[in-house]
Chain A
């Protein structure tokens, strides 16, 4: 293009790379290095010797049970969120409803998916706690004693349905564009070739949507796995999920081994990392088909 000397071109290239230096420095300092520090720290003893002991120690009953509860809560809330979210997204895209319902639901989902953390816990406590509105109404109107059945908002089930308050909207937001991409001609082609509604869904629609459904569920899973604020405010330390354990470890070294804390963090990163990689792979697959 230009007939400049090689030194000019070099300077231009240097300037180019300089331009993203601030961002790279930021990412280094506040994203990569802290994570790397923890990840490498997991493989060392407090005295500085390389070891796999910390990883092995993760498999002790108390820590394993923390991971297991985390996984169970995340799986439950992600599947619950996925199923309900899918039906809602289907309803607004293909259900033949008036247009304002769609925009209303999408707007609300945008808000609700961000309404997590401590206030969400308060909301569910106020609604389904021992003196919550729904509990009281069920007792006064229908004579149904909710807490008598053994239900308790401060429990695995309570945390799951609380999480679903932001999981469902997230599913709706991500799945709606995928459903929009379902061409109506596919449905018509299936129909004219003799397929019933059920056959269309079984042989055409669900197979096409499956990567998006699966991928988004994984995203929801990772989302729930890393969350702490809601759980902390709702169930405190009574439900010993991994983030709560890590919180206690950071605050007060309850594990009496800083490096074990690093291993805990490493375990979290591995789980959320793998889920996200699978999500990306599935999304690439989905997009390739929907050309």
Chain B
């Protein structure tokens, strides 16, 4: 079996090269701003850029709204489907997978046509309206991930039995929802939240076509105009993604330690 182990190490080596070399290259490039010496000048330039701060803040705000409103939509729906309408599950699951099939650019194209200032719901007629539409588009984009992580968490804790137990003990549905269900699916909610955060922060297509000052379009602008700042931003973006995924791993490890279903 020796040959296969050597081959396995070789495959890993290829993987490591493919993944790490671009990251190292980016980092190295980002350090080259000052002539002749490595420095963090590019990062300084980025962080002190007012536009960086404003677009970063804007995207974070959008991410927050996406997560909150997305979860307010997804969690009760997932719960309801499990409890009362299991026959609708295939339909709901199909719908939540649609955003993975239909490219984002097509979706936002549809929005622009359907909800522009001269249509029946003129989302794009105002700044606030457009922001709302942006959040709604982000919810759509992250729907597959949010729904799946919440649904998986609900399946693991068997919401049906939990609800029945709570009902027998006399609880009414708001109590059940917020004191029995939500806390137990928190791991699923958090997982979905972290993926959503990563997606929204890096998103370009929706924000660009809806003309909002988000982080994605800002990145593209810097890329077109500056030399070293883009790679610094790339490292920052990678760090954000890594940070989100890292939190996700933490959460999922935490939930594994929680008592599993009988």
Contacts and interface: CB of A to CB of B under 8 A. Distances in A.
A104 B5 CA distance: 18
Contact of A30 (B29, B105, B137, B248): B137
A38 B7 contact: no
A126 B8 contact: no
A20 B92 contact: yes
B254 interface: no
A38 to B, nearest CB: 5
Given A37-B113, A121-B223, A272-B102, A165 B233 contact: no
B157 interface: no
A243 B98 CA distance: 18
Given A91-B11, A133-B24, A126 B107 contact: no
Contacts of B100: 276
Interface in B7-43: 7-9, 11-12, 14-15, 18-19, 21-26, 28-30
A119 interface: yes
A123 B110 contact: no
B153 interface: no
Contact of B77 (A23, A34, A91, A96): A23
B4 A38 contact: no
Contact of B95 (A27, A91, A229): A27
Interface of A: 16-17, 19-20, 22-23, 26-27, 30-35, 37-38, 41, 84, 87-88, 90-92, 94-97, 101, 105, 107-108, 110-112, 114-128, 131-134, 164-165, 168-169, 197, 222, 225-229, 232-233, 243, 246-247, 250-251, 261, 265, 268-269, 272-273, 276
Given A30-B111, A95-B11, 20 more contacts: A17-B85, A19-B85, A33-B110, A35-B98, A37-B113, A94-B4, A111-B238, A115-B202, A119-B237, A121-B223, A122-B219, A122-B230, A127-B26, A132-B29, A133-B24, A228-B105, A247-B209, A268-B106, A272-B101, A273-B101
Interface of B: 1, 4-5, 7-9, 11-12, 14-15, 18-19, 21-26, 28-30, 73-74, 76-77, 80-81, 84-85, 88, 92, 95, 98-114, 136-137, 139-140, 195, 198-199, 202-205, 209, 216, 219-220, 223, 230-231, 233-234, 237-238, 241-242, 245, 248-249
